[in-house]
A and B are shown apart, each in its own frame.
Chain A
Amino acid sequence: MVEKPITGSRKAFMTGNEIVTWAALASGADIMFGYPITPQNEVMHYWTRLAPRFGREFLQTEDEISAGFTVCGAVQAGRKAFTATAGPGNVLMQEPFGMAEAMRLPVVAVIQQRGGPSSGTVVYSQQEVTLTAYGGNGEGHRIVYSVATHQEIFDYVIKAFNTAWTYRFPTFVLGDGYQAKMREPLELYDPAERGIQLVPPTPLVGLPGAIGEDREPQHLCNIYSLEEELYDAVLRLEKDYQAMAPLVVEWQEKNCDHAELIVVSHGVVSRAADDAVQALRQEGVRAGFFRPVTLRPFPQQQLREALRRSGAGRLLVAESSQGQLLRLLRQELYGERVPIDALLMPGVGIVDEDIIAKVKSIL
Chain B
Amino acid sequence: MARIVEAYVGEYASGKSEIAINRALELSGCGQPVTLVDLDTVEPFYTLRPLKAWLEQQGITVVGSGQEESFGLGETGGRIHPAARWALRREGVIILDIGYGVFGARTLNLVEGAQADPDLRVLAVINTARPMTSSVADIVGYVRDLGRVDALVSNSHLGDQTTPEFIIAGHRKVVQAARELGLPVAFLAVEERWREPLEAVDLGGVPVKYIRRYMPAALW
Cross-interface CB contact of A351 among B158, B159, B220, cutoff 8 Å:
B220
Is residue A342 contacting chain B, with contact meaning CB distance below 8 A? Answer: no
- Min CB distance, A86 to chain B, in Å? 11
- Min CB distance, B213 to chain A, in Å? 11
State the A residues within 8 Å of B (CB). Answer: 11-15, 18, 22, 38, 42, 49, 118, 120-123, 178, 181-185, 188, 349, 351
Interface size on B, residues (CB 8 A): 22
Is residue B75 contacting chain A, with contact meaning CB distance below 8 A? Answer: yes
Q: Is the CB of B219 within 8 A of A181?
A: yes
Q: Is the CB of A121 within 8 A of B130?
A: no
Cross-interface CB contact of B129 among A13, A118, A122, A349, cutoff 8 Å:
A13
Contacts of A182 in B (CB 8 A): 219
Is residue B187 contacting chain A, with contact meaning CB distance below 8 A? Answer: no
State whether A185 and B159 are in contact (beta carbons under 8 Å apart), knowing that A22-B131, A122-B45 are contacts in the complex. Answer: yes
Q: Is the CB of B131 within 8 A of A349?
A: no
Q: Is the CB of A14 within 8 A of B219?
A: no
Q: Is the CB of A11 within 8 A of B129?
A: yes
Contacts of A181 in B (CB 8 A): 43, 46, 219
Contacts of A184 in B (CB 8 A): 159
From A181, which residue of chain B is reached at the shortest CB distance? B46
- Min CB distance, A284 to chain B, in Å? 28
- Min CB distance, A124 to chain B, in Å? 9
Cross-interface CB contact of B75 among A11, A14, A122, cutoff 8 Å:
A122
Q: Is the CB of B220 within 8 A of A13?
A: no
State whether A13 and B13 are in contact (beta carbons under 8 Å apart), knowing that A181-B219, A182-B219, A185-B158 are contacts in the complex. Answer: yes
Is residue B161 contacting chain A, with contact meaning CB distance below 8 A? Answer: yes
Q: Indicate with 1 or 0, residue by residue over B127-161, a CB within 8 angstroms of chain A CB atoms.
A: 10111101000000000000000000000011111
Docked complex Cα distance between A14 and B134 (Å): 12
Cross-interface CB contact of A183 among B75, B159, B166, cutoff 8 Å:
B159
Is residue B205 contacting chain A, with contact meaning CB distance below 8 A? Answer: no
Docked complex Cα distance between A183 and B215 (Å): 10
State whether A14 and B160 are in contact (beta carbons under 8 Å apart), knowing that A181-B46, A185-B129 are contacts in the complex. Answer: no
Q: Is the CB of B219 within 8 A of A13?
A: no
- Min CB distance, B163 to chain A, in Å? 9
Q: Is the CB of B161 within 8 A of A11?
A: yes
Contacts of A123 in B (CB 8 A): 45
Contacts of B46 in A (CB 8 A): 181
Contacts of B12 in A (CB 8 A): 15, 18, 42
Docked complex Cα distance between A351 and B75 (Å): 26
Q: Is the CB of B131 within 8 A of A14?
A: yes
State whether A120 and B219 are in contact (beta carbons under 8 Å apart), knowing that A11-B158, A14-B130, A22-B131 are contacts in the complex. Answer: no
Contacts of B43 in A (CB 8 A): 181
